[in-house]
Structure 1
Amino acid sequence: MMNKKLIAMKDKVKFTGLVLAVMIFSVSLFVETADAQIAVKGETVYTMNGNAISNGVVLINDGKIERVGSANRVNIPSEYEVHEAKVVTPGLIDARSVVGLAGYYNQDHDQDQLETSSAIQPELRASDSYNAREYLVSFLREQGITTIQTGHGPGAVISGQMMIVKPIGDTVDEALLKDATMLSMTLGSGVSPAFNSPGTRSKAVAMLRQELIRAKDYAAKRAEGETNGTDLKSEVMADLIDGEITAMINVQSAQDINTALRIQQEFGFPMVLEGASEAYLLIDEIKESGVSVIIHPKMARPGGAMKNVSFETASKLHEAGIPVTFQSGYEGYVPKTRVVRYEAAVAAANGMGMQNALHALTIGAAEMLGIADRVGSLERGKDADVAMFDGDPFEYLTNVQGVIINGDVVYKPE
C-alpha cells in the first residue's frame, strides 16, 4: 500500500514538473516572439532601396526585416508591437569614430585611442580596448546611430586596426559586427609630436614605405608557406598588401592627400582617405585613383592643416561620383565625440541635399565599410536596424523617437 502511494506521488511530481517545464518553455517562446515581432509605421519611410514610401510600414521578425511597403499593401499582424514616427530611416552609420576607446571623462584611464610608444603599430586591435559600457556609446545610440566603425585615433603613422560595432551589449563580443576592418594611418602635419620620430613629412613617408616593402616580402613568403604567423605586425601589413584590410589614411592638406595617393599607387593596397579637408582641390586625382573619402566632420574648427575646410566638399565629391560618407571623428576635448547626423546635416544644407546626405550616411557608408549585406537600408533579410524621428532627421530640433537594433527596441524616450 505504502509503495503504491509513493509511486503515485512520484508520478504526480514528475507530471507536475513536466507541465511546469512546458509552461516555462511556452512562456519563453512567447516572450522571445513578442519581442522579435515589431511593426514600424512612418509618415515617410526612407528605405534607401528606391523611392521614399509615404505611409510606410516596416515589419520586423526575429531580428531581421521581414517586409517593407506602403500601409495599404502591408498587413500588420495583430500580435505585432506597433511603433509610429513621422520619419523612419535605416539606422545611421558613423564611418569613423573613437568611442569605446576614448571615454566621456577624458581622463587617462579612459583614453586608449592612441598608443605613443611607437609611431608604427599595425598589430594593435581596437577590439582589445573597446568598452561597450562607455557612456558615449549609448549617447550615440540615442541619436539614431546603430553602426559605428571605431578604433585607434589619428596621430601615429600607423595607429592600429579599426573595428565595426553596434552600440549594444555589455561586452565587445556582443557589440562586434566586424573586426580588423581598416588600418588607421596618418600622414602630414597630423602625426603627433608625442613621437620622437617622425618629425617631418618625408620621414613619415619613408617609415611607411619601408614597412610596406617589408610587407611585400613577407606576403610573398607567406604565400609560399614560409612563415608561421607569429609576427603580428608583419601579418597585418601583409594583409594590407594582399587586400584583406584597407588603409584609412588621415590626411588634410592637398599636399598630403597627393602623397597618400602616390603611396597607394606605388604599392596597390586598398585605401580610404579620411579627413581630406582640401579634397576639393584634387577632385580629378581622387576620382582617377578610385578611392573613397570619409570626409572630415563638417563642423570641425578650422585651423592648422584644416584651415581650409569647406562645408561644400562633400557635395563636390558626390557630384564628381566619388564615394563619400561622414564621420564623428576624433576630438581632443570633452565629450570626445561629435554626432554624425549633425555633420551630415551641414553637408545636406550646403549643396548635397537631404536624400544624398542620408544615402551617404546609410547605404553609402555600409558599402564603403563592406557591410551592405547586413545594414544600411530597409530591405527584407537585413538586420532590423531602424531610426525613428519626429521630423526631418537633419533639422537640429528634430528628436529621435526610437531606435531599433537587431530587432530590439534599444531606445524609446519617455
Structure 2
Amino acid sequence: MRKNNLCIKNGMIHTMNRSSDIVEGDLLIENGKIQKVGENLDCAEDFEVIDARGGIVMPGIIDAHNHIGIFESGIGDAGVDGNEDTDPITPQLRAIDGIYPLDPEFRYSYENGVTCVATGPGSSNPIAGQFVALKTKGRVVDDMILQAPLAMKAAFGENPKNSHGSKGRSPITRMGTAAVIREWLYKAKDYAETKEKKFDMRLEALAPVIKGKLPLKAHAHRADDIMTALRIAEEFDLQITLDHCSEGHLIADVLAHTRQKGVILGPFLGFPHKNEVIHQCVESAAILYDAGVKIAIMTDLPAMHTSNLRICAGMCYRAGLPLEEAMKAITSNAAEILGLEDRIGTIESGKDADIAIFDKNPVEHLTAECMGTVIDGELVYLAKNQKSYI
C-alpha cells in the first residue's frame, strides 16, 4: 500500500486519547504515520491537502468482532468458510487462510470509515481457531494484516452443542463444551512445559494461549456461559475477552471484578432468533460502563454490515451510554481490548494513520455521511461530492 503525506485541514479532530482532546484544526500524516495535530499547521508542497471543512475527523472505526471475508457475501455455500465443524477442537485453523480480501464487504467497510476489523472462525467449535486483525483495504490478505494471530476463538453455549450434538458426538451439553476445552488446555499446558516432544499442530497453536501470550476470544451470550468462560480463564491463568456477552448487564457488578480484558457487545440490529439473546438490549452498554467494565461494540458480520457499527454505537448512546464512551467503543476501547492500542484507536503522534472523516458526528447523528477514509496514510476513499476538497 502506498504511503502518502497528507494534511487534513479545518476539521474538528476527536483524538480519542486518554484526555479525549478535541482539536479544531489540522492533522499532519507522513509516511503512513500520524505526525502532528494542531492549529494552522504548515506542510510541505508535496503534501496532499484535504479540507475537512468543519467535519468530524476521528480515528478509523474498529469492528472488534466479525467474520468478514470468511462468510462471503452473495455467493451462498461456496463462500461459507467459517466453521470447520468436522472436529470440535480446531485451534490450528488460521483465519488468514480462509479470507477473501476482494469481498465487497471490505469496500463497504472503508467507505463507511471502518479501517480495521477483527475477523476469524465462527462459533460451531468449542475451540475454533485463530482470529486476525486486518486493515480493510487491500488485494492480498498478507498485506492487510495488522496482527496475526490476534486471539484464539472459543465458543460456549448453544452453538457448539447444537453443531456437534446433532452429529451424535461430544459436546452435546454445556458441561461437555467446558470439558473438552479444559482437556485441550491441560494437554497444551503439558505440551508447553515438555522440552522434548512430538510435534502436534493443535497443541502448538494452543501453547501461546496457555502461556498468556494469546487471548481467548470467548463467544458467550448467557450469564452462565459467561461465568464458565471466566472460570476456565481463572483456572488456567488466561487472557480473555467476552464477546457478545448478551446477558452481561445482568451480572455487571460481577464482571467488574473479573480478569477479563473487556467486553465486546453485539450485534444489536439482529432479530432475537435464539434463547441465548432474548435478554440482549442496547441499555447493556451503559449498565456495564456504569459498573466499570470496559466495552467495545461489534457487528458480527454477516449478522449485519460493518457500516452499521456506528449506528449501534449511536443506539447505545441514546440508551444512556455517554457520547464519548460510545465513540470509544468503536475506536480506542476496541483497540485496547484487542491489544492493538500501540498502533490504532487514537489520533496520536507515531500511530498508524487510519482516519475517518464525517460531515457530522457519526455516533450522535444517524444521518452522518463518511466524507473520506485514510488507511496507513493513503486516502482510500473520498465521497463523490467531496472531490473539491482536495
Q: Same fold (TM over 0.5)?
A: yes
Partner SS, residue 361 of structure 1? coil
Percent of residue pairs bearing the same amino acid type: 32
1:290, CA displacement in angstroms? 2.4
- Which of the two has greater helix per residue? 1
Partner SS, residue 388 of structure 1? strand
1:338, CA displacement in angstroms? 6.1
CA distance in 2, matches of 1:129, 1:148: 15
Partner in structure 1 of residue 186 of structure 2? 213
CA distance in 2, matches of 1:51, 1:368: 18
- Runs of 5+ consecutive residues of structure 2 not aligned to the other structure: 385-390
- 1:413 aligned onto 2:386: no
Partner in structure 2 of residue 80 of structure 1? 47
CA distance in 1, matches of 2:344, 2:76: 34
Contact 1:42–1:57, Cα closer than 8 Å, also in 2: yes
1:70, CA displacement in angstroms? 2.4
CA distance in 2, matches of 1:341, 1:232: 39
- 1:366 aligned onto 2:339: no
Measured on the aligned residues, the alpha-carbon RMSD in Å equals 1.7
Partner in structure 2 of residue 36 of structure 1? 4
CA distance in 2, matches of 1:273, 1:227: 33
> Where do residues 138-287 of structure 1 align in structure 2 (5 Å cutoff)?
138-191=107-160, 193-195=162-164, 196=167, 197-221=170-194, 225-227=195-197, 230-287=199-256
- Runs of 5+ consecutive residues of structure 1 not aligned to the other structure: 1-31
Partner in structure 2 of residue 343 of structure 1? 312
CA distance in 2, matches of 1:209, 1:150: 24
- 1:314 aligned onto 2:282: no
Partner SS, residue 25 of structure 2? strand
Of residues 373, 379, 382, the one that matches 1:403 is 373
Partner in structure 1 of residue 387 of structure 2? none
Partner SS, residue 154 of structure 2? strand
Partner in structure 1 of residue 298 of structure 2? 327
Distance 1:378 1:336, change over 3 A: closer
CA distance in 1, matches of 2:201, 2:23: 52
Contact 2:357–2:372, Cα closer than 8 Å, also in 1: yes
Contact 2:91–2:130, Cα closer than 8 Å, also in 1: yes
Question: TM-score by structure 2 length?
Answer: 0.91
Of residues 277, 285, 302, the one that matches 2:272 is 302
- 1:53 aligned onto 2:26: no
Moved over 6 A (4+): none
CA distance in 2, matches of 1:190, 1:346: 27
CA distance in 2, matches of 1:125, 1:247: 14
Distance 1:51 1:240, change over 3 A: closer
The farther-off stretch of 288-297 and 121-130 is 288-297
**One-letter code aligned to 1:247:** L
> Where do residues 1-150 of structure 1 align in structure 2 (5 Å cutoff)?
36-49=4-17, 50-71=19-40, 74-85=41-52, 86-150=55-119
Contact 1:42–1:54, Cα closer than 8 Å, also in 2: no
Contact 1:154–1:330, Cα closer than 8 Å, also in 2: no
CA distance in 2, matches of 1:103, 1:405: 22
CA distance in 2, matches of 1:43, 1:277: 37
CA distance in 2, matches of 1:410, 1:330: 22
Distance 1:373 1:357, change over 3 A: same
1:219, CA displacement in angstroms? 1.5
1:193, CA displacement in angstroms? 2.4
**One-letter code aligned to 1:268:** D
Distance 1:336 1:398, change over 3 A: closer
Partner SS, residue 162 of structure 2? coil
Contact 2:61–2:116, Cα closer than 8 Å, also in 1: yes
Partner SS, residue 66 of structure 1? strand
Q: Which has the larger radius of gyration?
A: 1
